[in-house]
Amino acid sequence: MGERVPQHIQNQIIRKFCETNRLEYSLSASEYAMKNSYLMLEEIINEKSSMNGIVFYSLFQLPENKIYRNNIYKNIIKRKKKIFFSVENFKLSSKNDILELEEIWDVKSVLPSCYKGY
């Protein structure tokens, strides 16, 4: 969604989020830089390790495509994993959380068409 924060700052925020929420920080992963690449994300979600969650820097790092995003949520919930978003201080672990999160995405996606000036 056009936002950029340096990777080391993202890592600091994620570490702090884990600390505050008593989550064990075990592995850091960076997505490939190509547009619309979610290869790393898919890899982590489908990994059959003991890892039980993924902490994102922001929820706006999820795919912009709604259908793709929904598939990710479903996959996460099916695998009984959780996803967290540090900047938004948000945890996704149920279908209700998906609705709440999607409301934010919906609003964000129409904002470029709304009045911007001041």
Partner 1 sequence: MTSYLDKKDIHLSKNFFKKGYFIQKVSDLKSLKTLRKAVVNSLCETIKVKMKKEKDFDRFLNDIHNTIKIKNLNNTRLNILNSINSSSEFHQKYFEVAKNLLFSLVGNELAMQTRVNLSIQLPGDASSLLPVHSDIWSGDSPFEVVVWIPLVNCYSTKTMYILKPENYKKIHSKFKKYAGKNSSDFYKNIKKNVEWINIKFGEILIFNQSLPHGNIVNSEKETRWSLNCRFKSLYSPYGDKKIGEFFKPITIRAASRIGMNYSLPNLKK
> Contact positions toward partner 1, by CB under 8 A?
58-60, 87-90, 103-104, 106-111, 114-118
Q: Which is nearer to partner 1, 26 or 89 (by Cβ)?
A: 89
Question: 23-31 contacts: CB < 8 A, separation 24 or more?
Answer: 23/53, 23/55, 23/84, 25/55, 26/51, 27/51, 31/61
Output the smallest distance, CB 48 to partner 1, in A. 31
- Which residues sit opposite 82 in a β-bridge? 53
Looking at the Cβ atoms of 11 and 50, the one nearer to partner 1 is 11
CB of 63 to partner 1, least distance (A): 16
Closest distance to partner 1 from the beta carbon of 95 (Å):
16
Concatenating the DSSP letter of every residue in 67-101 gives HHHHHHHHHHHHTT-EEEETTTTEEE-SHHHHHHH
CB of 75 to partner 1, least distance (A): 22
Name which of 11 and 58 has its Cβ closer to partner 1: 58
Residue number, 81 or 105, with CB nearest to partner 1: 105
Is the CA virtual torsion 111, 40, 101, 56 positive or negative?
A: negative
